[in-house]
């Protein structure tokens, strides 16, 4: 009798899952998800691609391979790469300090990490340029050493580092909280030095989160506009980022040219994220 009941309930679970769920509504939520994704993402991206496809190959190639545009790609992707890399190291460090130690003001620092999310990027850009200009607090002192930040490519890196910080911290933090100190203690009791423990036990466990944070920081940096345009000075061939070129083209009513460069960025960003996702998938197969 009980066996029959069980068999029955198994059957119901398999074929009538809608009735057994605690919270129903798959159809409604899935429908909304598709609608939402469609309006917010697929249709704009589709429009971009459609707009680009109106161009001939020659027109497209001319628009995206102009030396000024190529220089901006190098700067945008290069500076994003450096910024995200800096964040990878220091973001991990901030997360470590916030998770592993107790100190006065910890909550304040924890809250400050989110500031680049909340502050309008233009405000951040103006603040950065005020600080790093040759008359600013930081810029003055760097000038002595012959380092110029504002209106140079270094300035772009600084801005992109600033806006990317929260991503690495916020992805690594929860993983670090779950990482029991016991595993580090086990490593130490087996004779491993502190450095070996970090290298062979802690870092591999954090790797997927670090990669995710890196990818997010990178993607955010590539698309960043507001905070960069103030500090970079926007000199063609030197400190012009790709999003700025897109805006410039759009302002000159060259919508097709803007869309073409946008498409290149879209494809490049997509490919990079695909690679990082691939690495993540590979590490997660290792049971992390």
Partner 1 sequence: MSIEIDRINKRFGDFIAVDNVSLTLNDGELTALLGPSGSGKTTLLRIIAGLEQPDSGRIRFQGEDATDLHVSDRGVGFVFQHYALFKHMNVFENVAYGLTVKPRSQRPSKKEIRDKVMHLLEMVQLDWTADRLPSQLSGGQRQRIALARALAVEPKVLLLDEPFGALDAKVRAELRRWLRRLHDEIHVTSVFVTHDQEEALEVSDRVVVMNRGKVEQDGTPEEVYDHPANPFVYQFLGNVNLFHARVQNGVAKIGSVQIAAPEYAGQQDSLALAYVRPHDLEVLNSREEDALHARIDLVSVVGPTVRLELQTDTSDQAVHAELSKHQYRSLGLVQGGDAWIRPVISRVFLRDADSP
Task: Kindly list the residues in this chain that would bind partner 1 in the complex (CB under 8 A).
Answer: 180, 182-183, 185-193, 196, 200-201, 204-205, 283, 286-288
Closest separation between CB of residue 104 and partner 1, Å? 17
| Residues whose CB is less than 8 angstroms from the CB of residue 240 and which lie 6 or more positions away in sequence, other chains included | 68, 71, 72, 75, 232, 234
Shortest Cβ 65–partner 1 spacing (Å): 43
Smallest distance, partner 1 to C-beta of residue 181, A: 9
Beta carbon nearer to partner 1, 205 or 246 = 205
Name the residue among 144, 82, 132, 162 with its Cα closest to residue 233.
Answer: 132
Instruction: Give me the least distance between CB of 186 and partner 1, in Å please.
Output: 4
Shortest distance, CB of residue 187 to partner 1, whole angstroms?
7
Distance CA 106, CA 126 (A): 28
* Distance separating alpha carbons of residues 89 and 68, to the nearest angstrom: 32
Taking the least distance from each CB to partner 1, the nearer of 182 and 251 is 182
Cβ distance to partner 1 smaller for residue 40 or 288: 288
Q: Would you say 87 or 171 has its CB closer to partner 1?
A: 171
Distances (CA, A) of 184 to 33, 142, 200, 233: 42, 40, 10, 48
Nearest to partner 1 of 92, 154 (CB atom): 92
């Amino acid at each position: 009798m009980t066996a029959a009941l069980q068999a029955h309930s198994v059957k119901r679970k398999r074929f009538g899952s809608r009735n057994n769920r605690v919270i129903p509504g798959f159809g409604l939520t899935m429908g909304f998800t598709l609608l939402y994704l469609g309006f917010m993402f697929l249709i704009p991206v589709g429009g971009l691609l459609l707009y680009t496809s109106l161009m001939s190959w020659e027109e497209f190639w001319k628009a995206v391979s102009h030396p000024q545009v190529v220089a901006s790609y190098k700067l945008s992707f290069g500076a994003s790469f450096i910024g995200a890399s800096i964040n990878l190291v220091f973001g991990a460090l901030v997360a470590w300090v916030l998770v592993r130690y107790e100190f006065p003001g910890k909550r304040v620092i924890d809250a400050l990490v989110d500031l680049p999310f909340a502050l309008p990027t233009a405000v951040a850009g103006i603040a950065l340029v005020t600080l790093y200009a040759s008359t600013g607090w930081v810029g003055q002192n760097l000038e002595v050493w012959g380092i110029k930040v504002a209106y140079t490519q270094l300035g772009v890196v600084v801005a992109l580092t600033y806006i990317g910080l929260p991503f690495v911290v916020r992805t690594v933090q929860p993983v670090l909280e779950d990482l029991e100190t016991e595993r580090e203690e086990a490593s130490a009791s087996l004779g491993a030095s502190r450095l070996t423990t970090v290298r062979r036990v802690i870092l591999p466990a954090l790797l997927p989160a670090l990669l995710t944070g890196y990818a997010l920081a990178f993607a955010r940096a590539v698309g960043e506009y507001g905070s960069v345009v103030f500090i970079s000075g926007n000199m063609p061939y030197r400190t012009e980022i790709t999003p700025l070129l897109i805006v410039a083209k759009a302002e000159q009513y060259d919508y097709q040219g803007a869309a073409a460069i946008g498409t290149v960025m879209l494809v490049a960003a997509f490919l990079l994220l695909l690679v990082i996702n691939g690495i993540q998938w590979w590490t997660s197969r290792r049971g992390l």
